[in-house]
Copies of this chain bind each other. A is one copy, B any other.
Amino acid sequence: MGTHAAPEVLGASAALLGAVRSASTDRADRAAVATDRSGFVPASLPDGVVFAESVDDVVQAVKLAAVHGVPLVPRGAGTGLAAASSACAGEVVLDLSRMNRILDLDPVEQIAVVEPGVLNAELNAAAGAHGLFYAPDPASTAICSIGGNIATNAGGMRCAKYGVTRESVLGLRVVLADGRELRTGRGTIKGVTGYDLNALMIGSEGTLGIVVEATLRLRPAPITTATAAAFFPDVAAAAAAASAVIAARIQPSLLELVDGPTLEAIDLALGTDFRRRGGAFLLAQTDGFGAHLEMDVLANAVEPFASEVLRPDDEAETEALLAARRAAIPSLEQLGRVSIGDIGVPRGRLAEAVTGLHEISERTGVRIYTIAHAADGNLHPMLVVKPEESVTEGPAKAALGEMFHLAQRLGGTLTGEHGVGLLKRDWLREELGDVSLEVQHAIRRALDPQGILNPGKAI
């Protein structure tokens, strides 16, 4: 069933939208898919949205886009943080959220085959029924889709031990820019036939192909998990403690740092008293058969820096600590408009990074709240501005730029796990250099010479 184009929709887009099985040009539908959760506001709305329900739908949309020269913006759940699925006039959104079936879950092989619209938490619930889990766990697990996770090579808290999305994707089924179907990777744990097209697709933000199916590695749920939390006089001490954990040569499965201002916001939202107990907070877990022994070593490494170390001994207390950490972003969203930074630094330089962030806040006048996946050196400095202010222009943009340069000075990176999208393109060349960008554009041209797949994103 096609749809009639709204008057303002251009001819090429109208031709595409009129020919597919399910699409909309309603203003409300277009507004709903115009951006993600990055705070980026496109200057205009996309021309329309195609609702794909099958691989054939995707193939058809891509072929029509190629024929009519219409840029297609693939979209999962729209929870991205870098404007990689933002779309504007002249573009059509390809919504994959209806392709949301778990096609297979093999508990013996510990493998799942899913459509891209499956939510991360849904997959984890299905895996959990077999004593398994899917490792990547973005904070948005309840609302983000596996397809979006793959498009951004998403991380999360557990990747401290279990790696990012790339380490959990065995194979992909991808629709290329000319409508051909590509299979990458395989159904086995290891394999090295040909180039690693699987890794090339992961994190490419839909610019090299559209993922329509993924074969994922599940892992055994840990037999035991141990938890500790610690309070510190200030965030520099907490960062130093996190670096000491790494230097102690243990492998936490989770090591989350929360700074004082964020603790205040959490207290305000949850009625807790974290800020009174310390100027910064570290939450750690270890897992496996020796979880408690490993946690003893971790706690010893942290103790010299801490004002208080907690070893919760029941499930409820543990869950309350995890819930507080998870509440960080929602709590900040009650204070204003939030833009979530995502820099990565060498793990021994966390303290310098948090000091540098404090200085940036002082200099730019933008409030910065910091949480970090400390075991990976991945910081999420969150800029909070007034609801009517932009997070992508003015002082907020200046602060984002300074954050990038801070990361670079420390030998780090612009983005640890959220991706580039539209939001971070300005600093991409500075980090990657001319040769790398030229190579990336050459690969892009080889796969999508017309440039119809999510143009302007990722590279």
Q: In the complex the two chains form, is A186's CB within 8 Å of B293's CB?
A: no
Complex: chain B residue closest to A196, CB-CB: B199
Stretch at the interface among A18-26, A114-122, A175-183, A316-324: A175-183
Q: In the complex the two chains form, is B193's CB within 8 Å of A414's CB?
A: yes
Q: In the complex the two chains form, is B439's CB within 8 Å of A197's CB?
A: yes
Question: Known contacts A110-B246, A436-B194: does B458 contact A376 (CB below 8 Å)?
Answer: no
Q: Which residues of B contact A46 (CB under 8 A)?
A: none
Identify which of B110, B187, B435, B440 contacts A195 (C-beta below 8 A): B440
Q: Which residues of B contact A152 (CB under 8 A)?
A: 192
Q: Which residues of B contact A108 (CB under 8 A)?
A: 243, 246-247, 348
Stretch at the interface among A263-271, A284-292, A331-339: A284-292
Complex: chain B residue closest to A349, CB-CB: B109
Is the C-beta of A234 less than 8 angstroms from some C-beta in chain B?
Answer: no
| CA–CA, A418 and B176, complex, Å | 29
Question: Known contacts A246-B110, A293-B290, A459-B195: does B417 contact A190 (CB below 8 Å)?
Answer: yes
Min Cβ gap A365→B in Å is 28
Q: Which residues of B contact A352 (CB under 8 A)?
A: none
| CA–CA, A414 and B120, complex, Å | 32
Identify which of B109, B190, B418 contacts A192 (C-beta below 8 A): B418
Q: Which residues of B contact A28 (CB under 8 A)?
A: none
| CA–CA, A376 and B176, complex, Å | 30
Number of this chain's copies in the assembly equals: 2
Q: Which residues of B contact A184 (CB under 8 A)?
A: 436
Q: Which chain A residues (402-459) contact chain B, with CB distance < 8 Å? A: 411-420, 424, 428, 431-433, 435-437, 439-440, 442-443, 445-447, 458-459
Q: In the complex the two chains form, is B290's CB within 8 Å of A194's CB?
A: no
Question: Known contacts A187-B346, A289-B290: does B200 contact A419 (CB below 8 Å)?
Answer: no
Min Cβ gap A106→B in Å is 8
Question: Known contacts A110-B246, A132-B249, A196-B202: does B440 contact A443 (CB below 8 Å)?
Answer: no
Identify which of B290, B417, B445 contacts A288 (C-beta below 8 A): B290
| CA–CA, A202 and B202, complex, Å | 15
Q: Which residues of B contact A375 (CB under 8 A)?
A: 189
| CA–CA, A329 and B353, complex, Å | 50
Q: In the complex the two chains form, is B200's CB within 8 Å of A344's CB?
A: no
Q: In the complex the two chains form, is B413's CB within 8 Å of A188's CB?
A: yes
Q: In the complex the two chains form, is B190's CB within 8 Å of A378's CB?
A: yes
Q: In the complex the two chains form, is B413's CB within 8 Å of A193's CB?
A: yes
Q: In the complex the two chains form, is A188's CB within 8 Å of B412's CB?
A: yes
Identify which of B189, B286, B377 contacts A188 (C-beta below 8 A): B377
Q: In the complex the two chains form, is A197's CB within 8 Å of B436's CB?
A: yes
Q: Which residues of B contact A204 (CB under 8 A)?
A: 195-196
Identify which of B194, B286, B288 contacts A420 (C-beta below 8 A): B194
| CA–CA, A202 and B459, complex, Å | 21
Q: In the complex the two chains form, is A411's CB within 8 Å of B193's CB?
A: no
Q: In the complex the two chains form, is B415's CB within 8 Å of A191's CB?
A: yes
Is the C-beta of A221 less than 8 angstroms from some C-beta in chain B?
Answer: yes
- Which of A191, A418, A419 has most chain B Cβ within 10 Å? A191
Complex: chain B residue closest to A220, CB-CB: B249
| CA–CA, A411 and B171, complex, Å | 12
Is the C-beta of A308 less than 8 angstroms from some C-beta in chain B?
Answer: no
Q: In the complex the two chains form, is B420's CB within 8 Å of A251's CB?
A: no
Is the C-beta of A227 less than 8 angstroms from some C-beta in chain B?
Answer: no
Q: Which residues of B contact A445 (CB under 8 A)?
A: 446
Min Cβ gap A147→B in Å is 16
- Which of A186, A247, A377 has most chain B Cβ within 10 Å? A186
| CA–CA, A75 and B21, complex, Å | 54
Is the C-beta of A30 less than 8 angstroms from some C-beta in chain B?
Answer: no
- Which of A417, A431, A432 has most chain B Cβ within 10 Å? A432
Q: In the complex the two chains form, is B166's CB within 8 Å of A437's CB?
A: no
Q: In the complex the two chains form, is B109's CB within 8 Å of A182's CB?
A: no
Q: In the complex the two chains form, is A153's CB within 8 Å of B196's CB?
A: yes
Q: In the complex the two chains form, is B188's CB within 8 Å of A346's CB?
A: yes
Is the C-beta of A167 less than 8 angstroms from some C-beta in chain B?
Answer: yes
Given contacts A109-B346, A182-B436, 8 further A-B contacts (CB under 8 A): A109-B348, A153-B196, A166-B196, A183-B436, A189-B376, A190-B376, A199-B200, A290-B291
Q: List 12 A-B contacts (CB under 8 A).
A: A108-B243, A176-B439, A182-B435, A187-B412, A189-B347, A190-B416, A191-B413, A193-B420, A194-B436, A196-B196, A443-B443, A443-B446
